[in-house]
Structure formats: C-alpha cells, structure tokens
Structure 1
Amino acid sequence: MWTMSCCGDNMLEKAQDRLTPQGALYRNLQHFVNEDGNYVFCRYWEPETPPRALVMIIHGAGEHSGSYMNVATMLVNQSLFVFSHDHVGHGQSEGQRLNVSNFSIYVRDCVQHINMMKYRHPDLKIYLLAHSMGGLVAIYVIHDRPDDIAGAIFIAPLVAVNPESAKPWKVFCTRLMHHLVPNMPLGSMNPHWLSRDENEVTNYYKDPLCYHGAMKVGFAAVLLNAINGLKNVLVTITTPVLILHGDADKLCDIRGSYIMYEMVASTDKTLKVFEECFHQLHKEVPDVVKEVYALIEMWLNDRLPLPK
C-alpha cells in the first residue's frame, strides 16, 4: 500500500477512519493529502521491467483516473511507469462533485503528485498525457514547472469551448450568475458526444465513478477564467508537445488545438487531426484507437531510450 501525505504522520493517523465518497476507507487505498487537507485517490501502474520514464495521466472533467486503464496498459507495455489521481471533486477523491473554488487547485495537486514521484524516482524523466480539461491543467503544470516536464501528449485539450457555448452573451451571463447563483445547473453533457463507439458510451453511463449530473455555473466560470489566462501561458511553453484532436469534437473546440499549436514556443511540436472523430480519441472506434496508440508509442520512443 502506498500512502503519502504532505502533512506528516499525524494526518495519516487521522486517515484510519476517513471514507471516500463511495464509502471505502482511505487507509486501504493509495492516496495523498493535498494542501487543503483533502484526500486524493491515486493509481499507479508499474512495469515489470525497469521503467524508462514516468508518465502522469491527467484526466478530464467529470471522469476519473480509472477511465484510463487501457491507456495505462499501453504505456506500461512500453516499460513506462504510469501514475495518476482523481482530481478533487472527482472519482474517489474528496471534494464537492465537479466543483472547485479555483482552477489552480487542480494544478497545485498535480505538482504535488509530481514532486512525490520525483522523490521516489529522481533519475527518470516525467511526461504528461492529458485529456480535455486535463489538457488545460497540464498546460498550467508545464508553465509552473517547465524543467520537470520532458514532454506532453494532449488529447482534445480544453483550450477553446465550442462556439455555441462561447457566444458573448452566454459568457457574460455565466460570469454574472457565478456571483449570484453559483450552484445553478447549466445542463448535462451528452455522452454520445464522447465517442462513436456505442460500447464506450454505455460504459460511461454505467460507470458510477463518473459524474453524470449537470455542470454548475460556478464551475463553468472557473473553467472560462482558466481558458482566458492561456494567452499569457502558451507562449512560454517550450516543452515538446504532441496534440491529437478529432474534428467532430463537440465538447472541446478543435480551434483550441490549432491555437495551441501556433502559440506554444516549442520547436518540437506536432498536431494530428482525426477526421470525423469525437472527443475521446483513446476510446473511439477500434481503428482510430489503434492509430492513436501507435502515434503515442512512436512519439515517446523517439524521445526515450529503448527498453532494457
């Protein structure tokens, strides 16, 4: 069992009876305690052979680290040590569901987890693999810790919202209501926008760790503020990046990936667009998933030593 805390042994002792939102004891689960005292559930996938590098998976809004089992398996098969956690308010971590007072909390917790892994594996490079809102988090993580991140893979990063949601009057109303009625629901995400593979849509419906409720005004405003701050952040990024996006994505506008590709200062950057594909390229129809995995493997292998 791997339990880590930024708060010392006393905090760990108090975890003996602390329960996840699903009623499991944190003392039986891998977790760390963030700076706010929230318990953050973690997952680790370690290869049988000596790892070539570390890869942190950063999940998107409403999902959780367990949504990436297949991606993690693919990476582990490349002799990579994969780690991830459920953002606060997600999955098996504490916190109000799909709600956070400041976007920087997600970034701060990722940096804390990275520090933990650096301490345990000081000689290994760290790569990020981030999807959707996780991509937005990853951009800020790289900005905060550029020397710690050797490269990043983005799948449909949240850099621009879809045009319908980005209409000026809607943005104005969201910001206004954020101060008046932050808990007012805005509506739920259509799961059929995630993938053209109906099995994946069904899996999402049935996953009790995914959030199936409505997004609230307050959370939407937090995301908009983080997106608006990107214009001063993207230009500072020199880390190698691979950006993958489906041109039929109705959740994260593909224009954001074009903007990101143009603005990042990295001399090692690649953008691959998948025609007629939806939001979760790693859970698309089998032929697309196979191509996505092959691209990720090739990109990493070009930048890492061969497995021993």
Structure 2
Amino acid sequence: MLNQQNMKIFTQSWRPNSTLQLKGIVAMVHGYNSESSWFFELTAVAIAKTGFLVCAIDLQGHGSSDGLPGHIPNIVPIVCDCIQFFDSIKVDHPKLPAFIYGESLGGAIAILVCLKQKRDWNGLILNGSTGGISAKFKPTWPLEKLLPVAAFLAPIWKIVISKLLASKSYKEWKRKLVVKNPNRKASGKPPMATALELLRVSEYIRRHCHELEVTMLMVHGEDDVVCDYRSARFIYESAASEDKRLKIFPSMWHQLIGEPKENMELVYGFILS
C-alpha cells in the first residue's frame, strides 16, 4: 500500500481453510530487525489455521517496505501505517472481533495503536513486548546521555550494542536461520536516531500505559535480556484493563518462537487457548 508519506509498505494476510468460518481478525506487528515473513510468518500461519484472518505489514525500513534499513527516527508514521492497513481489513469484516498482536518493538507499536484507538480492538496480545530496554542493550555511558546530540548530528550512524540481538533472542539452530533471512535489511546495530526513538517510546509507554483499557494478554521470557520482563510487569500492573493476564515463562529468552520445540508449543498453545 501507499502510506501517508507516499512510501510503499508491504502488506500480506493469511486465511484459514475456506471451509472454516472466520472467528475473528488478528493484526500482527513484528519487531525491530524482523519482518512479516520468515520466522514471524510461522506464528501468523499457526493462528490462521485455528480460524482467524491474520494480517501484517513490514515496518518502514524492514522487509520489503520502503525506508532506510532499521531507520526509525519517529514512531508515529509507523503507527499510522499499521492503523491504515488494519482498518482497511476491519472495514471489510465489520462483525468480526479484532485482536492486535505485537512482538518486541511490535508490542510497543501495538500498545501505541491501542492508546490511539481506545475502543477499536477486542484484545491486545503482547509477546516479549518493548516496555523498557534492558540495561545490557542500552547505549553505554556516556553515549546514552549524549544520544540526543549524536542522533541530531549523525542520525543514520549505527551505534554498537553489546551483542547481536539474534545471539540473545533465539536458541539452538534458529539463531543461524534468522541471520540467513534473504530479506533482512537491518543489522543488530540500530542507527543513532532509532536508538533514541526506542528509548523515547519506552518512556512514553511507561507514562501512558495506565490509559490502556483493552482486554490484554502478555507473555514474556524470564531470561529476556533485550526487553526486561519487569517492564512488562509494570505495564500489566499499570493498565486499567479489567480483563488482563501476564504469564512469565521461566528460563525463556526474548524471542519465544526461538525456543526449543517443547517450550514453543507451551507458549503458543497458551496464547491460542
């Protein structure tokens, strides 16, 4: 689709077998350095097989969408892209319940969508959501303090973080597979402007998550060193949602799809149920 900035944004959707009656819509938002295909698509297909119409976009600077690789100087246009596409799906199915699902940064974006569209969603599912970046992956001192100046002077210059995200997100053979994604644009080093925006988004969510009223399910790995589970707990406890649940999985990492088979089946069985 063409977004409000006249950029080409890649979109796709998955439908269940035609003999199944649609149960609802699940709009999915991937995380930083990811896309709507590859690993993320495994979750989309699994949800579609249970009877849901699933849709997703590639964020700006990711996958097949326009934009500089991994460059997110402002999250607002990306939130608008999601709303534009997801609304186009919902308008064709006005009677179906609609749920929004986000992983990592996609979880933060899903929260921002729900804050903007307070009564337009029947449920919010957050998987390893960004609500606060782990100290291990924040820019080192004094760079964090100088980040606003650095982002202004060199917005696309890439900042070194401790380790590549894949090395602390995916277990076993899956970390090698994610790096081999032929459509992967960004590396594990976010540009200066992106790093600053991620910190801003995390702080904004901490200040406004009490406004969330949507039915909410949160899942998180206890050993997630990218997005700390304690930040997820803060969002859960702060949200005004009457129906909410948080599940912390012991010994699991940031990307729950990257866990061994038995862990993965436990997590996604819990989400689907």
Give the TM-score, by structure 2 length. Answer: 0.93
Distance (whole Å) between structure 2 residues aligned to residue 36 and residue 290 of structure 1: 40
Task: Give the 5 Å matches for 1:169-188.
Answer: 169-187=142-160
The alignment status of 1:38 with 2:10, answered yes or no, reads no
Higher relative contact order (CA 8 A, sep 6+): 2
- The one-letter code of the counterpart of 1:218 is A
Instruction: Note if 1:218 corresponds to 2:193.
Output: yes
Q: Give a deviation string over 1:35-87, Cα, whole Å, max 9, x none.
A: 00011111110112121100011000010000322211211121000000101
- Partner SS, residue 101 of structure 2: strand
Give the C-alpha shift of residue 284 in structure 1: 0.9
Contact 2:165 2:188 in 1 (8 A): no
Query: Size of the alignment, in residue pairs?
Result: 266
In structure 1, the residue matched to 2:117 is 145
* Correspondence for 1:19: none
What TM-score, normalized by structure 1, do the two folds share?
Answer: 0.83
**Distance in 1 between residues matched to 2:25 and 2:57, nearest whole Å:** 14
Cα displacement (A) at 1:175: 1.9
Identity %: 25
* C-alpha spacing 1:190/1:283, structure 2 compared with 1 (3 Å): closer
Taking the TM superposition and a 5 Å limit, the aligned residue runs for 1:234-249 are 234-249=209-224
CA distance in 1, matches of 2:119, 2:226: 31
AA matched with 2:178: Y
Q: Provide the residue aligned with 1:101 in structure 2.
A: 73
Mind listing any 5+ residue stretches in structure 1 that lack a counterpart?
1-31, 299-308
Tell me if structure 1 keeps the 8 A contact 2:206–2:235: no
- Long gaps (5+) in structure 2: none
Query: Which digits, 9 at most, give the CA deviation of each residue in 1:87-113, with x for residues without a partner?
Result: 111000111111123111111111101
Work out the CA distance in 2 between the residues paired with 1:190 and 1:61. Answer: 10
For 2:61, give the aligned amino acid: G
What secondary structure does 2:12 align onto? strand
Cα deviation, residue 213, structure 1: 5.3
Instruction: Pick the structure with greater CA Rg.
Output: 1
Instruction: Give the match for residue 23 of structure 1.
Output: none
Q: CA RMSD in A?
A: 1.5
Contact 2:216-2:244 at 8 Å conserved across structures: yes
Partner of residue 281 from structure 1, selected from 248, 253, 256: 256
Shift of 1:167: 6.9
1:125 equivalenced with 2:92 (yes/no): no
Q: Is the 8 A contact 1:140 1:233 kept in 2?
A: no
Residue 205 of structure 1: CA displacement? 1.3
**1:186-242 deviation line (CA, Å, top 9, x unaligned):** 12624221122x221111111022223521111101111111111332111111111
